[in-house]
Structure 1
Amino acid sequence: MALIVYVEVLLASDSLQDIELLKKFLDEQFTIKDLGPLKYFLGLEVARSHTGISLCQRKYTLDILQDTSLIGSKPAAFPMESNLKLAIDDSEPYEDPSSYRKLVGKLLYLTITRPDIAHSGQVLSQFLAKPTVNHHKAAIRVLRYLKATPGHGLLFSSSSELQLKAFSDSDWVGCIDTRKSITGFAVFLGNSLISWKSKKQATISRSSAEAEYRALATTTCEIQWLLHALQDLQIDHSQPTLLYTDSKSAMSIATNLVQHERTKHIQIDCHLVREKLQEKLIKLFYIPSQLQLADIFTKPLGSLPFHHTLRKMNIIDIHVHLEGGCWSIASHIDNMELKSKVEKAKIVNEI
C-alpha cells in the first residue's frame, strides 16, 4: 500500500479491503472525509476506463490561457519552430520580466503530464534573468500550441507488459550561448511513458559521441532509480532494461573495455554504463535516428516528426478519444470563442 499526503491523502493498494481498514483507522484518529476514487489532485485530472488510466491537466491549461488572455488565440500545430535557436541577447529586453517568469513556471508545472512541451520549457527557463521580446514570443507560441491541445495527457495502458524500455539521445552543442549539449531520454514501462527529461549537460562535450555517451549515463542512472522504485512496490523486473541509442560510437565506447586517449576524460560515465552492462541491468540496442523517440526532448521538431513521435509515446487527448458523453462534445467547445468561463460551463451542463 502507498499513502501520499499533500493537504489531501491519496491511497493506492492492490487490496480494497486494506484501503477500507486504513481509511477507518485514519478517520478514528483525525476525522477525515472520503472523497471516493481519485479524479482531481493538484491540478492533475485522472480518468479511468477499460483501456487504462489517463492523466492530464486540461483545466490547468485552460486557466493559463485565460490568465494570459489567449483563450481565443489562433492555435499552433507544434510548440516551437524547428529552426528556432534562442540566445541570451537576441532582441530588446521584455518589458515585464516577472510575468515571463510566472508563465515559464506554470509551463514547467504543466510538463508533469505534458512531455510534448518539456523541451520548450527547458529552453525558455534559461532566460529567466533577462528575458527578451523574442523569448516572450516563443513562450506565446507554446501557449498557442496548448490552445490546440488542452486535453493532451498520458495514458497508462492496462495491458502493458512489465518491461522497461528507454530511449537516449542528445543534441551536440545544442545551446549556442554555452556550447553545451542537450540530454533527452524517455523511459517506458511497456507502452506507457513513465519518465522523461530534457536538460542541458553540465559540461561541454568535445564530440557528438561524447555527448551521446553522457546522455546514456544519465539515462542509466534514471533506469537504476526506477528499478529501485519498482522493487519498493514489490514488482519483479529481473530482465535487463532495453536501452536504445542512435549513436554507434557511444555503443562502441560502452562495450569496449579499453580506455583510449579521447575517452579518458569521461572515465566516470564510462565505468557507470559499462558496469550496468556487465551486471545485465541494461542491454544496448542501436536504433535509427528517425525512430528515436527521445529526439523530441533534445531539439524543436517540425510538425510531421513531432506528431509522429507523440503518437508513438502514447500521448493522447481523452476528450477526443473517448466515444460519446460530455467529454467528446466539450472538446469542440474549447475551440469556440466564448466570452467567459461561466458561459462555457452552462453549455457543458446543458449537454
Structure 2
Amino acid sequence: MNQRKYALSLLEDAGTLATKPVSTPFDPIVKLQIHKGHPLQDPSSYRRLVGRLLYLTISRPDICYVVQQLSLFMAHPLDSHYKATLRVRHYLKGSPAQGLFFSTTSFMKFSAFSDSDWACCLDSRKSITGFCIFMGPTLISWKTKNQNTVSRSSTAEYRALGSLVCELQWLQFLLVDLHISRTDPNSVYCDNKSAIYLAHNPVFHERNKHIEIDCHIVREKIQSKLVHLLPVSSSSQLADAFTKPLPSSTIQTFIHKLGLCDLHHPT
C-alpha cells in the first residue's frame, strides 16, 4: 500500500519535483525550537504543507517522527521549521512509492515495540512516546506523540508502555468483535530495564509515586496475560524510528525491519 501519486502531487505543487533526494527525512544535528528563527510571511503555506504530510503518514511511518515534530509549530512557524519541511520533501523525492507491505502469510500474533526519548523537547522538556505493533511480519499500528506531562527518569519509558498496552487492548477488543479468539499473550519489547522491573514489581516505593495511576495498566495486563514484557537491545529497538531522528547509516535497516518497500523505481 503506497501513496505514490499523492506524494508526487505534493512535490509538484511545492515546486520540489526536480530536487536532489536525500537519504534521511530529518537532520539529526538540527534541533527545532519554538523561538529559534524568524517568522514566516505566509504561515498558511507551512500549515497546508504539514497537513498534507500528515495524510501521507498513513502509509509512510518512516516520516512519522519528523511530521510530528513539525506539527508542534503550526501556530507560529519559523523559517527554520520551513527548512525542515524542505528536507522531508527531498527525502520523499528519493522514494515516492515507498509504502507498507501486507503479507498473505501473516499469522494472528501481535508483537510490539515501545520506546521513549527522554526530555527531548527543548522548549517544554517533555518526552516523546513511540511504539509500533506487528501482526505477524506486518506493521499494522504505530504512534509518535509528545507526552502530556514532564517525566522524570524511567517514567517516560513506563508511560510509553502504558500507551502501547492500551492500543493492544483495543486490538484485542477488535478481534473479539470479529469473532477471532486468541489466548496467547502479546509480546512487548522494551529496552529499558527499569521500566520492565517496575511493570513486574508489585511494590512501589516513594520514588515511584510520581508515576500516574493510569500507567499501572501495564502491570495489570501482564498479570491478566494480555502482554508478555520482554527486554530488547537498543540496537534492535524498532520503535527508535518513532522517537528520534536516525542517521543515514541505520535508517535503511530500520525501514526494512518495519516492512516498508518500494515497488517503483525512484523518479
Matches within 5 A, 1:78-117: 78-117=24-63
**Structure 1 length normalisation: TM-score?**
0.75
1:261-289 deviation per Cα after TM superposition (whole angstroms, max 9, x unaligned)? 11112141443111100000000000000
Distance in 2 separating the partners of 1:70 and 1:232: 45
**Structure 2 length normalisation: TM-score?**
0.98
Q: Name 1:281's counterpart in structure 2.
A: 226
Residue pair 1:253, 1:270 contacting (<8 A) in 2 also: no
Divergent runs of 4+, >4 A: none
- The CA RMSD over aligned residues, in Å, is 1.0
Q: Name 1:125's counterpart in structure 2.
A: 71
Residue pair 1:185, 1:294 contacting (<8 A) in 2 also: yes
Q: Name 1:291's counterpart in structure 2.
A: 236
Count residues in correspondence: 267
Relative contact order, higher structure (CA 8 A, sep 6+): 2
Residue pair 2:112, 2:133 contacting (<8 A) in 1 also: yes
Distance in 2 separating the partners of 1:242 and 1:170: 18
1:317 to 254, 262, 266: 262
Distance in 1 separating the partners of 2:183 and 2:65: 32
1:136-183 deviation per Cα after TM superposition (whole angstroms, max 9, x unaligned)? 000010011000010000011011221100000000001110100000
Distance in 2 separating the partners of 1:142 and 1:235: 40
SS of 1:262's partner is helix
Distance in 2 separating the partners of 1:231 and 1:148: 41
Distance in 2 separating the partners of 1:309 and 1:282: 24
Match of 2:174, as an amino acid? A
1:314-345 deviation per Cα after TM superposition (whole angstroms, max 9, x unaligned)? 100122xxxxxxxxxxx35x2xxxxxxxxxxx
2:59 corresponds to 1:148 = no
Match of 1:79, as an amino acid? P
Match of 1:156, as an amino acid? F
2:136 corresponds to 1:190 = yes
Question: Whose radius of gyration is greater, 1 or 2?
Answer: 1
Distance in 2 separating the partners of 1:304 and 1:229: 38
SS of 2:211's partner is helix
Match of 1:204, as an amino acid? V
Distance in 1 separating the partners of 2:162 and 2:241: 19
Q: Name 1:264's counterpart in structure 2.
A: 209
1:180-236 deviation per Cα after TM superposition (whole angstroms, max 9, x unaligned)? 0000000000000000000000000011x1100000000000110111112222222
Q: Name 1:68's counterpart in structure 2.
A: 14
Matches within 5 A, 1:25-44: none
Residue pair 1:78, 1:306 contacting (<8 A) in 2 also: yes
Q: Name 1:222's counterpart in structure 2.
A: 167
Q: Name 1:176's counterpart in structure 2.
A: 122
Distance in 2 separating the partners of 1:198 and 1:155: 20
Specify every segment of 5 or more residues in structure 2 that has no aligned partner in the other structure, as ranges. none
Identity of aligned residues (%): 52
